[in-house]
Amino acid sequence: MGREVSTVPKVQNMSLTRTRKTLLHEVESRSSEITELASDLIKIPSENPPGNVDKITEFLVKYLRDTGVDVSVVEGFKGKPSLVCQTGSEQDSRILLLNGHTDVVPVGSRERWKFDPFGGEIKDGYIHGRGASDMKAGLAGIVFAFTLLHRERRELKGLLKLQLVPDEETGGLHGTKWLMNGGYADSTAAIIAEPTGLEAIDIGQKGILWLKIETKGTLAHGSLAPYVGDNAILKAASLTKELQSITRIRARPPKEIRQVISSSISIAEQLIGKKGIGRILRTPTVNVGLISGGTKVNMVPDMCSTDVDIRLPIGVKAQEVLRKVRTIATKHDASVVVISESPPNYTSPTEEIVKILERNVQEVTERKPRVFVQWATSDARFLRAKGIATAQYGPAHLEGIHGFNEKVRADDVVAATKVYVALALDYLS
Ligand SMILES: [Zn+2]
């Protein structure tokens, strides 16, 4: 165990130590049940879009009820059910939330898959199919862990919540965010079983600033351009080129997270396989993703609309970027509307839940985990926005996530389940 994790109180109570040992053995001896659960979840398609998770939610409700868990399904938006349940004691102030999303990204072109994306085939030590890594393996892990912890609920000093949500792949507004706003997700710490890989713990992510920029021009006959009329598309072209200067803004992250960001840079370069790409954790990225303008080929366009996706690293404020965008826009006589905004966010690496997670990952995998920040976003942002210490940890085979031929190592699902059980016992002891 590393020196930096030694501040976490050790498990003190003998009966809890016994429970912990017994449960970890039980996870091992019932490993095939866990991998079959992950496989069963893959067999229920829940592609988003369209985002229908009724069937998989129904399946999970039945699975949990069969083990004696009291489950509720809540739905803030029609067709967007979230499964919520809790166990343990309400006498204590600690509340640990286990969260996972039931939707998956679409399969895409079926011919590109070497196996049935909804087959859930378990072969050569892997579980195969869409969502295997992101995140039906993680779901199986937290669900199985919850059933064991529910059985041993008398050992828990505090509440353990399990929430299985829709809509994560299209923004999370109808899932985790809605639960958060309704008070369901109130907790003192949270673990999201998103795919990080067995030896990596994610504690932060970049922010989002999506903009719609409109340039205006003056209509004229196409045969007179560029001498008569004013071309809105050409204005958009020079404006978007100038927007690239946003990528030169340099982040000033708080001291407590700087070391984690530095080490995440090499992780990003390794994962993406492009030297220098780690800069995305220190500077904003800018993607001109959608453009539409003009009326007809022989008319000078009087309008052009451009959607821009800017990602903000930890240590860059949306306002700072927006000011710069507006200055550029003014030069081109353009208007700027914010479509979506979410600040970069992180949980301090010194938070107790992070330390407990680190310690248990090290114990289960016998390797020191890497703590990192990611460049994509997830539901963690909603929890962190409410001050809940949130870490992401889950089994993953990174190749194939949001792509083709997604799979996950069966052993990793079992190992992650052990981590979930152990960390919940430690946090709620
Ligand atoms: Zn995910």
| Sign of torsion over alpha carbons 57, 50, 182, 379 | positive
pLDDT at 16: 81
Those residues whose C-beta lies under 8 Å from the C-beta of residue 158, and which sit 6 or more positions away, are 88, 89, 92, 93, 94, 95, 96, 188, 427, 428
pLDDT at 3: 39
d(CA 164, ligand 1 centre) in Å = 12
d(CA 49, ligand 1 centre) in Å = 14
pLDDT at 12: 56
pLDDT at 92: 86
d(CA 10, ligand 1 centre) in Å = 32
d(CA 352, ligand 1 centre) in Å = 24
The first and second tokens of residue 235, run together, are 């204005």
The first and second tokens of residue 368, run together, are 């020191």
pLDDT at 379: 97
Query: Distance from CA of residue 213 to its chain's centroid?
Result: 28
d(CA 195, ligand 1 centre) in Å = 7
Query: What are the distances in angstroms from CA 277 to CA 31, 289, 349?
Result: 38, 19, 23
Whose structure tokens read 């979410």?
A: 342
d(CA 168, ligand 1 centre) in Å = 7
d(CA 106, ligand 1 centre) in Å = 12
d(CA 263, ligand 1 centre) in Å = 23
DSSP-derived letter for residue 400 is T
DSSP-derived letter for residue 182 is T
- Cβ atoms of residues 56 and 38 within 8 Å: no
d(CA 298, ligand 1 centre) in Å = 46
Bridge partners, residue 312, by sequence: 207
d(CA 351, ligand 1 centre) in Å = 23
Rounded distance between C-alpha atoms, residue 247 and residue 16, angstroms: 51
pLDDT tens-digit readout, 140-152: 999 999 999 999 9
Encode 249-312 in three state secondary structure.
CCCCCCHHHHHHHHHHHHHHHHHHCCCCHHHHHCCCEEEEEEEEECCCCCEECCEEEEEEEEEE
Whose structure tokens read 């030590």?
A: 125
pLDDT at 1: 35
d(CA 172, ligand 1 centre) in Å = 10
- Enumerate residue ranges in the chain where pLDDT < 70: 1-12
Please count the other Cβ atoms lying within 10 Å of the Cβ belonging to residue 123.
11
pLDDT at 166: 97
d(CA 169, ligand 1 centre) in Å = 7
d(CA 38, ligand 1 centre) in Å = 15
pLDDT at 333: 92
d(CA 176, ligand 1 centre) in Å = 12
- Cβ atoms of residues 416 and 139 within 8 Å: no
- Cβ atoms of residues 409 and 126 within 8 Å: yes
d(CA 390, ligand 1 centre) in Å = 15
d(CA 111, ligand 1 centre) in Å = 24
